[in-house]
């Protein structure tokens, strides 16, 4: 689980809610029609902009941020070194039996076991990397669009509220409460954009860069194992991907 994401969202909403509670009445910040306009309108516009499959994929990717454990770069390097040790000890064909939930790593192991040409490995894995980046870019774009639409629909809700307020100018006592309700939709839209959608888009971008780096490590490791399956040599090459203070090699 990504603690930083959960922590940030909880702290952000806690600060906003705390400021509301300290300011007095909290009930005035609850407006169901305003929430319907902002939430419903934002997702409706997103459905117009993207196919439903891409929206569902983006939501799953966002959920995965909270549920999946983040693999470190050092762990990926260590995995490739272990694979090099197996290939040196048992031969390249032994890599066909490597058990892993990473389909990219599995493909790399099969290509190594087949003693494929380095150009074949390069082309196959490069296509995988490019495809992964495109999928991740779509997920990021969905949340970027939501971050754009939610304040806009908040403004639409405010305009609706202002029209309703102006229609009751004959009653001065109703102007203040009506104005407050009109501003709430802008508040909802800004909160959703600033605390949810934009941070999730940024987190997905960070995860994408992180995973791209890991795929590059697997790609370079696969080539190195084919050229020279000495585990120490593999580590020396792949350790360049790891910050110097985090490098470690357990023989």
User: CB of 159 within 8 A of CB of 185?
Assistant: no
Give the residue from 199, 244, 194 showing the smallest Cα distance to 65.
Answer: 199
Q: Is the pLDDT of residue 125 over 80?
A: no
Look over the chain and give the mean of its residue pLDDT values, rounded to a whole number.
84
Distance CA 52, CA 59 (A): 11
Distance CA 135, CA 129 (A): 10
What pLDDT does residue 40 have?
93
Distance CA 153, CA 157 (A): 6
What pLDDT does residue 1 have?
58
User: CB of 147 within 8 A of CB of 193?
Assistant: yes
Q: What is the rounded average pLDDT of the residues 29-56?
A: 91
Q: How many helices (H) does the chain have, and how many strands (E)? A: 10, 0
Distance CA 29, CA 237 (A): 57
User: CB of 132 within 8 A of CB of 211?
Assistant: yes
What pLDDT does residue 145 have?
94
Q: Is the pLDDT of residue 127 over 60?
A: yes
Tell how far CA 80 is from the center of its chain: 25
User: CB of 132 within 8 A of CB of 212?
Assistant: yes
Q: Concatenated DSSP letters for 59-101?
A: HHHHHHHHHSPPPPHHHHHHHHHHHHHHHHHH-GGGGGG---S
55: which 2 tokens? 């929206």
Q: What is the rounded average pLDDT of the residues 198-203?
A: 91
What pLDDT does residue 99 have?
83
Q: Is the pLDDT of residue 50 over 90?
A: yes
| Most confident among 4-18, 45-59, 61-75 (mean pLDDT) | 45-59
Q: What is the rounded average pLDDT of the residues 208-226?
A: 86
* pLDDT level of residue 124 (50, 70, 90 thresholds): confident
* Tens-place pLDDT, residues 177-200: 777 777 889 999 999 999 999 999
What pLDDT does residue 248 have?
65
CA 229, 230, 235, 237 torsion: positive or negative? negative
Q: Is the pLDDT of residue 249 over 60?
A: no
* pLDDT level of residue 84 (50, 70, 90 thresholds): confident
Distance CA 132, CA 32 (A): 39
223: which 2 tokens? 């080539």
Distance CA 208, CA 247 (A): 22
pTM: 0.80
Q: What is the rounded average pLDDT of the residues 50-54?
A: 92
- Tell me the domain boundaries of the chain: 3-242
Q: What is the rounded average pLDDT of the residues 80-101?
A: 84
Q: What is the rounded average pLDDT of the residues 166-175?
A: 76
User: CB of 38 within 8 A of CB of 151?
Assistant: no
What pLDDT does residue 38 have?
92
What pLDDT does residue 9 have?
85
Using DSSP's 3-state secondary structure scheme, residue 26 falls into coil
Residues in CB range of 70: below 8 A, 6 or more apart: 2, 207, 210
């Amino acid at each position: 689980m990504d603690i930083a994401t959960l922590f940030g969202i909880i702290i952000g909403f806690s600060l906003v809610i705390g400021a509301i509670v300290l300011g007095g009445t909290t009930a005035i910040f609850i407006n169901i029609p305003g929430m319907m306009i902002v939430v419903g309108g934002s997702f409706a516009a997103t459905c117009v902009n993207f196919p439903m499959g891409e929206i569902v994929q983006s939501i799953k990717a966002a959920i995965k941020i909270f549920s999946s454990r983040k693999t470190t770069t050092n762990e990926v390097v260590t995995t490739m070194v272990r694979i090099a040790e197996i290939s040196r000890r048992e031969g390249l064909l032994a890599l066909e039996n490597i058990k892993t939930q990473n389909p990219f790593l599995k493909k790399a192991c099969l290509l190594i076991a087949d003693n494929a040409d380095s150009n074949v490995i390069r082309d196959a894995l490069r296509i995988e990397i490019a495809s992964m980046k495109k999928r991740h870019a779509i997920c990021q774009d969905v949340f970027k669009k939501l971050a754009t639409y939610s304040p806009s629909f908040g403004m639409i809700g405010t305009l609706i509220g202002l029209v309703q307020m102006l229609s009751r100018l004959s009653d001065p006592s109703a102007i203040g409460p009506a104005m407050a309700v009109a501003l709430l939709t802008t508040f909802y839209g800004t909160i959703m954009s600033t605390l949810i959608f934009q941070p999730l888009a940024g987190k997905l971008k960070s995860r994408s860069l992180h995973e791209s780096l890991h795929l590059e490590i697997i790609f370079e490791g696969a080539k190195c194992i084919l050229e020279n399956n000495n585990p120490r040599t593999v580590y020396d090459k792949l350790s360049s991907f790891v910050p110097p203070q985090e490098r470690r090699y357990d023989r």
